[in-house]
Amino acid sequence: MNLFLSTAVAVALATPVLAETAAPDTLSTLRGTYESAGAEPWYGGFGHREFVFADGNWSLTFTHALDPDMTLRTFQFRTGGPYTVGDPSAEVEGAFRTVFREDWKHLTLLTPDPALATAFGMADCRLTVNLEADISSTGCAAWRPVAECGEDHDILAMDPSGLRFGVRPADNDMCSADKTPTALLPAVVKRLPLN
């Protein structure tokens, strides 16, 4: 069984958005790097999310590991493109429906263990350990090709705790508007610039 698809995706219990949230024009013009405050539970292990925003574009680097110190790394996924903040979420006050285009998708297998590659559904993706592969046209595991799934339909909010995205479903499929999340994950926090 594919561990990637069978493991619950929620990082933690969904958390409510705070009363004081950012307006859509603020979310549409984000600039900076936002990252996990620490290791978060993801896919039967732990993960670190890093989002970069600039000029109406976004990118995500997600790194997965088996341990909370993030030393036993298994894979890294990267994607990005333009994004559009839309209408308020009917389910989550203070959050806005947001479409994140995924113009490209890259995946790096970080473990030489073939059993782990199989467990994550990556055994048949022709990946070379520690070498990033462009999976935009082929897909791999739960990531479908860009031609089949070039948009991530999410919700987005920003409150004093940080920038918040929606809780992903267990199958990781947010390729259409009907898959838009109805709850928020804990915040990613803005990385301060170097002095």
Query: What are the sequence ranges of the domains in the chain?
Result: 3-190
The band of 69, judged by pLDDT with boundaries at 50, 70 and 90, is very high
Q: Given its phi and psi angles, is residue 32 left (phi above 0), alpha (psi -120 to 50 degrees) or beta?
A: left
Percent with pLDDT over 70 in the chain: 89
d(CA 14, CA 97): 17
Region 173-187: mean pLDDT is 95
The answer on pLDDT for 76 being more than 60 is yes
For the chain, the maximum distance between any two Cα atoms, rounded to a whole number of angstroms, is: 48
The answer on pLDDT for 135 being more than 90 is yes
The pLDDT assigned to 194 comes to 54
**How does the average pLDDT of the chain come out, rounded?**
90
Higher pLDDT, 21 or 180: 180
The band of 172, judged by pLDDT with boundaries at 50, 70 and 90, is confident
The band of 19, judged by pLDDT with boundaries at 50, 70 and 90, is low
The pLDDT assigned to 9 comes to 41
pTM of the model: 0.89
Higher pLDDT, 170 or 107: 107
The residues, ordered by sequence, that sit 6+ positions from 97 with a Cβ below 8 Å of its Cβ are: 85, 86, 87, 88, 89, 153, 154, 155, 177, 180
Stated length of the chain: 195
- Name which of 49-58, 151-160, 167-176 the model is least confident about: 167-176
